[in-house]
């Protein structure tokens, strides 16, 4: 398990920064985004430090699959019944601000949806 001491999401995994958790297992953590773009907005991250999708290889396929599949399960648990979005921002021009791979999963009533 790779850990970057300067990474805020590694600090969340380690419990050094508090978060409102939605799910946790040995490999993955999901928590509510601190500045939500939607009524329900969770971030699903691998516990191991992977900086971005630009660093993902075929070996990560099972991990990515588990992240993607967790989204619908969490939306259901959190009461989202009418659809949701999965978003991954990668690199500066992709709008990535935190360089620890994270999947945004956003749902809830639609007025927030602009893009
Ligand atoms: P990015 O632009 O990198 O795809 O998204 C980073 C996301 O992480 C943003 O939506 C931001 O609100 C969220 N975020 C940044 N720092 C924290 C934090 O300390 N706690 C939580 N819960 N979310 C954070
Ligand atoms: Zn990290």
Indicate which residue of 41, 49, 100, 102 is catalytic: 102
Nearest to 9 by CA among 51, 38, 39, 41: 51
Q: Which atom of ligand 1 is nearest to the CA of 41?
A: 10
Domain boundaries along the sequence of the chain: 8-112
pLDDT single digits (tens) 23-80:
999 999 999 999 999 999 999 999 999 999 999 999 999 999 999 999 999 999 999 9
| pLDDT value at 114 more than 60 | no
| CATH class, 8-112 region | alpha beta
Q: Which atom of ligand 1 is nearest to the CA of 17?
A: 19
Report residue 114 CA to chain centroid gap: 20
pLDDT single digits (tens) 69-86:
999 999 999 999 999 999
Q: How sure is the predictor about 101, in pLDDT bands with cuts at 50, 70 and 90?
A: very high
Q: How far apart are the first and last CA of the chain?
A: 35
- According to DSSP, the residues that pair with 41 across neighbouring strands are 106
Both tokens of residue 17? 């920064």
Residue 109 Cα to ligand 2 middle (Å): 31
57 sits in the region (left: phi over 0; alpha: psi -120 to 50; else beta) called beta
What pLDDT, on a 0 to 100 scale, did the predictor assign at position 1?
A: 86
pTM of the model as a whole: 0.96
């Amino acid at each position: 398990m790779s850990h970057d001491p300067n990474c805020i999401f590694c600090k969340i995994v380690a419990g050094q920064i508090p978060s409102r958790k939605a799910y946790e297992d040995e490999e993955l953590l999901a928590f509510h985004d601190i500045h939500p773009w939607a009524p329900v907005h969770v971030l699903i991250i691998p516990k191991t430090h992977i900086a971005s999708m630009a660093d993902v290889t075929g070996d990560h396929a099972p991990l990515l699959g588990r992240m993607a599949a967790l989204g619908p399960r969490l939306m259901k648990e959190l009461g989202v019944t009418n659809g949701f979005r999965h978003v991954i921002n990668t690199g500066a021009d992709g709008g990535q601000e935190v360089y620890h791979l994270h999947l945004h999963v956003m749902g809830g009533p639609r007025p927030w949806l602009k893009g």
